[in-house]
Amino acid sequence: MRTDEAARVVIVGGSFAGLAAAHELRGTGAEVAVYERSGGRMATRGAGIVMQPEVEALLAKLGSSAREVSVELTERQWLHRRGRPTRYEAPQLMSAWDVLHRTLRVPLDEVCYRMDSALRHVRVEDGKVTAEFADGYTTQGHFLVGADGIGSTTRRLFDPSSRSRYAGYVSWRGLEPESALPGELLELLAGRFTFFGADGLQMLCYLVPGPNGERTEGSRRVNWVCHMTVPETELPRLLASRSGKAYSTFLPPGELLPQIEAELAATAEQVMPAPFAQLVRLSKVFMQPIFDLAPHRMVADHAALIGDAAGTVRPHTASGAAKAVGDAASLATALRGWVPGRGLPHERLAGWERERLTHLAALSQAGVSLAARSSLGTPTARRYFAST
């Protein structure tokens, strides 16, 4: 094998972790190629993203900035069923999954980004990794990065025993054009990070840029998330779709069954402050059950796992994207200077794994504590959508 050859890195998954890895590893001189399972538009899956320092750092490297891709908030407010909201000053930048994805994707125009590429199998032989995809396509590299999210095929191939566990609650979500909502509702929500909490439930809402990054009044979107304690036995009923397609970890907008939509609107009417109940009623709701994937291992033979594929954090720390980007940046640091023919920098990779697993465990624990403080998924919490 030649010893002056640039490392070729196969990246599985083309969301935050995959795109961040492509940028960071390219920065070390590696040749990268990204393989993404989705065949069409990916944008409908994501919604609001609270801006965090790791993402800001990556944007700065790309010549962009957090401000350019975010809506700025000035206050936080807590709504109550009765009485006026409680408010305090808390400036914050809020972006959106589709806006950030495009910002990371565009500068990679010349990089191979193959869609419709669902990883099926990985083989490691003589220091080379061969990845095989569902359509029969194969590719080879010197290293593979598994950035394929919570249901990671890469992780299952390297560690068949790992399993995700339902956290006891689901997140109902909405992302509506502000132009489609009543003026009075917008006046309450614009410029503010808005919260409401009740037994077994927490809802939050903030504005994000429009689908093409628009930040001007009238063209932004209203993003909301409502975490609700729901028995695991009800998940199949809630994940049943209008199209008949099977979903297990995410139900996209437009797929919620009308009877579930009606049940959700009635629950909102019963327990939420009127503005939030109105927002739920006017939205094309989508849904994501929350699963925990315990931190375990991130390094395998000529491969590493990053982002949600390596382990998840609860949404309350708003740090899933930041963790994914941080995993990618530090992995690139561990691999910097590596030349394929000379053997992997095993010690640096082991150090990277230790450091990132410690960080992940701390974030996971913080998320679990925040959820418990809001009585989400706890044994004594009120259970919604319970049919028995």
Ligand X SMILES: Cc1cc2nc3c(=O)[nH]c(=O)nc-3n(C[C@H](O)[C@H](O)[C@H](O)COP(=O)(O)OP(=O)(O)OC[C@H]3O[C@@H](n4cnc5c(N)ncnc54)[C@H](O)[C@@H]3O)c2cc1C
| Binding-site ranges for ligand X (CB under 6 A) | 12-18, 35-38, 42, 48-50, 117-119, 147-149, 151, 153, 171, 173, 225, 288, 307-309, 315, 318-322, 324
Q: How many Å apart are CA 283 and CA 254, to the nearest integer?
A: 10
Torsion of CA 174, 177, 183, 187, to 10 degrees: 70
Q: How many Å apart are CA 283 and CA 261, to the nearest integer?
A: 10
Q: How many Å apart are CA 256 and CA 284, to the nearest integer?
A: 8
Q: How many Å apart are CA 94 and CA 143, to the nearest integer?
A: 34
Beta-bridge partners for 205: 194, 224
In eight-state DSSP terms, residue 115 is -
Q: Is 14 helix (H, G, I), strand (E, B) or coil?
A: coil
13 or 213: whose CB is closer to ligand X? Answer: 13
Chain position whose Cβ is nearest to ligand X? 320
Q: How far is the CB of 228 from ligand X (least distance, A)?
A: 11
- Give me the helix-helix angle, 53-61 and 320-335, nearest 10°: 50
CA nearest neighbour of 101 among 35, 20, 6: 20
70 or 171: whose CB is closer to ligand X? Answer: 171
Q: How many Å apart are CA 286 and CA 254, to the nearest integer?
A: 7
Q: Which two tokens stand for residue 170?
A: 């689901």
Q: How far is the CB of 38 from ligand X (least distance, A)?
A: 5
Q: How far is the CB of 160 from ligand X (least distance, A)?
A: 15
Q: How far is the CB of 135 from ligand X (least distance, A)?
A: 11
24 or 148: whose CB is closer to ligand X? Answer: 148
Q: How many Å apart are CA 30 and CA 330, to the nearest integer?
A: 15
The amino acid at residue 61 is K
Q: How far is the CB of 1 from ligand X (least distance, A)?
A: 27
CA nearest neighbour of 284 among 214, 193, 203, 223: 223
222 or 322: whose CB is closer to ligand X? Answer: 322
Q: How many Å apart are CA 316 and CA 377, to the nearest integer?
A: 13
The amino acid at residue 379 is P
1 or 294: whose CB is closer to ligand X? Answer: 294
Beta-bridge partners for 208: 221
Q: How many Å apart are CA 13 and CA 35, to the nearest integer?
A: 6
147 or 207: whose CB is closer to ligand X? Answer: 147
70 or 153: whose CB is closer to ligand X? Answer: 153
Q: How far is the CB of 132 from ligand X (least distance, A)?
A: 11
Q: How far is the CB of 121 from ligand X (least distance, A)?
A: 10
171 or 229: whose CB is closer to ligand X? Answer: 171
Q: How far is the CB of 56 from ligand X (least distance, A)?
A: 12
Per DSSP, helices labelled H in the chain are 16-26, 53-61, 97-105, 153-158, 183-189, 235-239, 258-271, 274-282, 320-335, 346-373
38 or 241: whose CB is closer to ligand X? Answer: 38
Q: How far is the CB of 51 from ligand X (least distance, A)?
A: 9
Q: How far is the CB of 292 from ligand X (least distance, A)?
A: 11
What is the full DSSP assignment across 289-319?
A: EEEE------EETTEEE-GGGT----GGG--
48 or 340: whose CB is closer to ligand X? Answer: 48
